[in-house]
Amino acid sequence: MAAGRGGDPYRDESSAADAASLTVEELLEAVASGAVAPRQAAARLAALEAAADLGFARLDFSRQARCGVPEAVLAQGKSVDQLLEIVARFIERTGAALVTRLDAVQASALEGSWPDGALHPQARVWTYPSAQPPGRAADGDGETDVAVVCAGTSDVTVAEEAVVVVEAAGRSVRRFYDVGVAGLHRIVGVIEEIRRCRVVIVAAGMDGALPTVVAGLVRAPVVAVPTSVGYGSAMGGLAPLLTMLNGCAPGVAVVNIDNGYGAAVLAIKMLALGERPGLSVRQAQGDRAARSSSIASPYEKKR
């Protein structure tokens, strides 16, 4: 790292920007390696805990560091001025922003204010910066982090919201769209590809049966998203929600109606749980077995 003013390599602006984008764990690792100075790390941690009170909103800048997922700004119900102020503060403090549930006027205002951001119109999401973090490389067996599956083309808006959020977290995604149960041959035709994904998000409206079908065919956990697609007794997504909650295939978690963002966050957390540093699953199982063998059963003691 090149030295900045006064010979201090940690005072240049690029270093400060790099530190601002790190999670707490990454920041501590950077301090340990000498890439970031302790005083700079202390300033970063203090900034994370400081909430900006705008009067109409209290901004949470530390969610990524605390929870491992990006903070989302829900555009719905906010005025353009409120939205622009919130986004400006996030970009200033963290260098990134994720906005969901945009209408056309809000989207236009964001594009005009930050041309280097990215609008995802089908998902109704805007992200800054436009370049997504690089996705985790696929393993040698070709596994992808997340499969996003939807029953019909009308469900794509919800599915795309999930895709954009997963990609914003630097995760790899594959799309499998219009494979609903009205033609089971469609899901059967792609099921082998879906099986190569670690977590599966399934969005469906109408009868909401697709997550149960998928869960009965894959090893991966399934996150089910009921959508408000349908009419009459679909009741704005309530019918598929109840179907998914009553599904007979185990291993399905259900989020709220049209909640592609929530489904993506759950998938991201599932992946992170399996990647925490420490013992591998095999090592942990061996440790448990060793502990169990060293503890005498009460029945053994009686012999």
* Mean pLDDT of the 143-168 span: 95
66 & 123 share domain: yes
- Which residue spans within 11-124 are E strands per DSSP? 52-53, 58-59, 73-74, 97-100, 118-120
Residue 79 maps to a domain:
yes
CA distance 30 to 129: 23
State how many domains the chain has: 3
pLDDT band per the 50, 70, 90 thresholds, residue 292: very low
Residue 294 maps to a domain:
no
148 & 116 share domain: no
CATH of the domain at 230: 3.40.50.1970
Question: Taking the chain, what is the end-to-end CA distance rounded to the nearest angstrom?
Answer: 68
71 & 189 share domain: no
Residue 192 maps to a domain:
yes
124 & 151 share domain: no
* Mean pLDDT of the 76-96 span: 91
Which residue, 13, 29, 49, sits at the end of a domain? 49
Side-chain-side CA neighbours of 284 within 13 Å: the count stands at: 7
Mean pLDDT of the chain: 81
Residue 151 maps to a domain:
yes
Q: Say if residue 175's pLDDT is above 90.
A: yes
Residue 299 maps to a domain:
no
Q: Are strands 173-176 and 144-150 parallel, antiparallel or unpaired?
A: parallel
At residue 54, the pLDDT reads: 80
71 & 8 share domain: no
15 & 120 share domain: no
pLDDT band per the 50, 70, 90 thresholds, residue 141: low
At residue 40, the pLDDT reads: 83
Q: Say if residue 93's pLDDT is above 90.
A: no
At residue 9, the pLDDT reads: 36
Share of the chain above pLDDT 70, in %: 77
14 & 111 share domain: no
- The closest of 274, 227, 223, 210 to 251, measured between CA atoms, is 223
Residue 240 maps to a domain:
yes
168 & 226 share domain: yes
Residue 25 maps to a domain:
yes
235 & 262 share domain: yes
100 & 219 share domain: no
CA distance 67 to 44: 16
The residue that leads in pLDDT, 276 or 191, is 191
Residue 286 maps to a domain:
no
Residue 27, H or E segment = helix 24-33
Tell me which residue has tokens 């200033």.
92
Determine the structural domain holding residue 123 and report its residue range: 53-131
Q: Which of 27-31, 117-121, 128-132, 284-288 has the lowest mean pLDDT?
A: 284-288
pLDDT band per the 50, 70, 90 thresholds, residue 27: confident
60 & 173 share domain: no
- The closest of 280, 252, 247 to 266, measured between CA atoms, is 252
* Per-residue pLDDT tens digits for 182-234: 999 999 999 999 999 999 999 999 999 999 999 999 999 999 999 999 899 89
- Which residue spans within 141-243 are E strands per DSSP? 144-150, 173-176, 197-204, 222-226
159 & 262 share domain: yes
